[in-house]
Chain A
């Protein structure tokens, strides 16, 4: 029973169905492991021992009464920007340090309905602004494969919790790569669904036209299961799509025979880690051996994705974060005198540097005299990036590329160079701008022992085909049985 923490969600649920293990035993195993290796990895901001134990007992009762919901009794972790009723939700920020939501976000409510047990809330870059987890007010989570390295971001805590077996699976959110990039760097699976597939109700907003919630899991099957549970229409989010749900599970093992896979020239660039390129090329060769047709394609506006993103995302953030004013919730500088001074001082003391930097950038881009030059220009560039994908998907079923240009970098290496940090997301940002789904699946290790991720992008609402291709890679070169050594 020692390795119970390493089981996937579907393995654990199957074992509970057979009566081999209870949810209570699983939760105790995870809480024990979190207490033991948790401090070293800093994956969680808040662990809800009491709530998890209570939910586990409840789940075991429901199972005994004959219930069999898809996640019944499965202990999961939630990125700390999804509202959880009665459980502190900080968004990695001092300004929300004491915020306890009186309601559940849509995605969390769906998990609970399906029987999931919430172990706690995972570490993240402040307001999801970062690619390394280092902007968290609670200190960075650490990469379990090498604790001197960053886990990626912004959903770094969720990625670490899954990779180090501190939960069975997790939710993250992805605005410019925040699910896929840490998944790649920590050697797990991460899916960003199509924009609008999952309701954003109860998700602390960063950039509302880009944010999307998705699963971070130990294998592709788990990602498909969680996606099925959290997807669907929600009247509380007016941007949530009413497109019918895909069947993410039944075709998972169908393989890639006859599929056309596009490989964009622009995603293999000078300066990327040659070992990463090699692992990604090997994975593409495997797809070809398994019967896919591999075709070189071009997404000509790729190099404009990062500059486009760094206008649009900060602009939306500067507006979304205006609500943190020390009045209705969150931190207030109690020393400040006068209303205006209270606003300014609360925001200055409550936000960290990266958040302030992005608010400044967004405010500048939206300010009088610069709106057309920056914001409108970026919205037009966004159209061109979307058109690139629409053209490409006329000829190919999926696009495969590296998830990140390099494996995990060292803690502290890029904190003083924002532009270099921003370029960590060079291969993931385009999917958010276009709104298409993308999954990162492990495809091997560098010689230094750091995981490498393969990214599979699909057309709108084609989550099922991206997962199917990812599963073909996982089946051939999956690393699910290789685990980071974090126990000593």
Chain B
């Protein structure tokens, strides 16, 4: 199975990755090879098999809706690349 250049570009866009032409070529080839290997799963008859999304039988975990310890906003925001008066600054979203 060979991933086309268009498919590589499409998946990169979905993943918000801006790949260079060189990376597109490299990933196209490498991912095709890995997908071929993954396709060995088609040898398995899984028609009567339940999917397993989790190792343990854990159901939803709830807690009481009460206020918990607050983390200091300043300490958390200190890691932001750009901030202003308690807000995260981002590049302009709407033109005009």
Interface residues of A, count at CB 8 A? 71
When distances are taken between beta carbons in the complex, the residues of chain B under 8 Å from A329 are: 79-81
Chain A residues touching B, majority SS: helix
Closest-by-CB residue of A relative to B53 is: A379
Closest-by-CB residue of A relative to B72 is: A102
Task: From the candidates A99, A318, A383, name the one contacting B15 in the complex (CB within 8 A).
Answer: A318
When distances are taken between beta carbons in the complex, the residues of chain B under 8 Å from A209 are: 53-55
- Evaluate contact between B30 and A344: CB separation under 8 angstroms: no
| Nearest chain A CB to B48 CB, angstrom units | 9
Complex: A184 Cα to B60 Cα, angstroms: 37
Which of A163-171, A233-241, A263-271 binds B? Answer: A233-241
- Evaluate contact between B41 and A308: CB separation under 8 angstroms: yes
A377 interfacial contact with B, CB 8 Å = yes
When distances are taken between beta carbons in the complex, the residues of chain B under 8 Å from A102 are: 71-72, 75-76, 78-79
When distances are taken between beta carbons in the complex, the residues of chain B under 8 Å from A235 are: 61, 63
| Nearest chain A CB to B24 CB, angstrom units | 10
B38 interfacial contact with A, CB 8 Å = yes
- Evaluate contact between B34 and A195: CB separation under 8 angstroms: no
Chain B residues touching A, majority SS: loop
Complex: A326 Cα to B82 Cα, angstroms: 9
A334 interfacial contact with B, CB 8 Å = yes
Complex: A384 Cα to B91 Cα, angstroms: 48
Closest-by-CB residue of B relative to A103 is: B71
Beyond A241-B58, A361-B31, A363-B11, whether A325 also contacts B16 by CB under 8 A is: yes
- Evaluate contact between B16 and A347: CB separation under 8 angstroms: yes
Which B48-80 residues have C-beta < 8 A from chain A?
A: 49-56, 58, 60-61, 63, 71-72, 75-76, 78-80
Which A342-385 residues have C-beta < 8 A from chain B?
A: 342-345, 347-348, 351, 353, 356-357, 359-361, 363-364, 367, 374, 376-384
Complex: A315 Cα to B20 Cα, angstroms: 22
A-B contact pairs, 25 of them (CB 8 A): A102-B72, A238-B58, A239-B56, A307-B38, A310-B37, A325-B16, A327-B90, A329-B80, A329-B81, A332-B82, A336-B91, A338-B92, A338-B93, A339-B91, A347-B18, A348-B19, A353-B23, A356-B19, A360-B17, A363-B11, A363-B14, A364-B3, A378-B38, A380-B46, A381-B46
Residues of A near any B CB (own CB < 8 A)? 98-100, 102-103, 194-196, 209, 235, 238-239, 241, 301, 303-304, 306-308, 310-311, 318, 322, 325-332, 334, 336-345, 347-348, 351, 353, 356-357, 359-361, 363-364, 367, 374, 376-384, 386, 418-419, 422, 434-435, 460
Q: Apart from A327-B88, A339-B93, A357-B31, what 10 extra A-B contacts exist at CB < 8 Å?
A: A238-B60, A327-B80, A338-B91, A339-B90, A353-B26, A357-B27, A364-B31, A364-B35, A435-B56, A460-B56
